[in-house]
Amino acid sequence: MIARLTLVSIFLVLGCSGGSQSSLRTRAAFDLSCDQNQLQIVELDDGVQGVTGCGHRATYVKSCEGQGFARSCQWILNSSEKPKGAPSSGP
């Protein structure tokens, strides 16, 4: 019984941590105007992910607030650019 409660507790804590790769993919697709299937995500550091796709490159940082069950995380766009040599969209 104790093992079951421990397993359920771990699952709940991990489930409430937020900031999943799925939420990162959704946010990056919007920010980069790129289909989610065309995005490549790589871990740059603990809590930092790099996203490339559709000629764009962006860095996201995981930002968390609260503790335990009240903890909520989201991915924040830290920088975004088109790689050198990519056509610009401005005048």
Nearest in space to 47 (alpha carbons), one of 81, 76, 25, 79: 76
Neighbours of 50 (CB within 10 A): 17
Higher per-residue pLDDT: 88 or 32:
32
Q: How far apart are CA 48 and CA 28, in angstroms?
A: 13
Interval 34-75: pLDDT, tens = 999 999 999 999 999 999 999 999 999 999 999 988 999 999
Phi first, then psi: give them for residue 83, nearest 5 degrees. Answer: -60, 155
* Amino acid at residue number 19: G
Q: Is the pLDDT of residue 83 over 90?
A: no
pLDDT value at position 33?
96
